[in-house]
Amino acid sequence: MKPPVINPEASYTFFDYFKLVAEVEDILAYFGYSFQVRDCTLPHHTVPFPGLTNLKARLVASLPYVSLTSETARREFLIAPVLMEVIQYTQVKIKVEFPIEVNAQLKGTFDYYLQAQNSMLVIEAKQGDLQKGFTFSSNYFF
């Protein structure tokens, strides 16, 4: 019999899951979930974003000079500027370093938490493992 991937007596933060030597599928199965890799069609809006062209130009011009090897660097130089543009157009409130505790085995701090009236978006500037970063982020788009 295979031992459980999660110790039911231990306390885990979101970051602790990245240190586990376990398949994503096994961790999700422990909590009664699964996932599929497939195309995802996100909502499209035709609202003009005039600041987007300027933001893109600034990022393209600046990024060759920025080391993006840490989570903090990705948060500050990639994600935060984009979120400032999102705030301009949506007027949605953003919470930075938002703590959450579902239970002792699932707790931590979201890098960015945006909540609209009927939906939310959680953004994490994860380490280099994109599969785990996408899997463990709760992405609901508004």
Q: What is the pLDDT of residue 123?
A: 65
- Separation CA 79–CA 74 (nearest Å): 6
Q: What is the pLDDT of residue 126?
A: 60
Spans of the chain below 70 pLDDT: 120, 122-142
Contacts for 17 with CB less than 8 Å, ≥ 6 apart: 27, 132, 136
Q: What is the pLDDT of residue 138?
A: 40
Q: Please count the residues of the chain.
A: 142
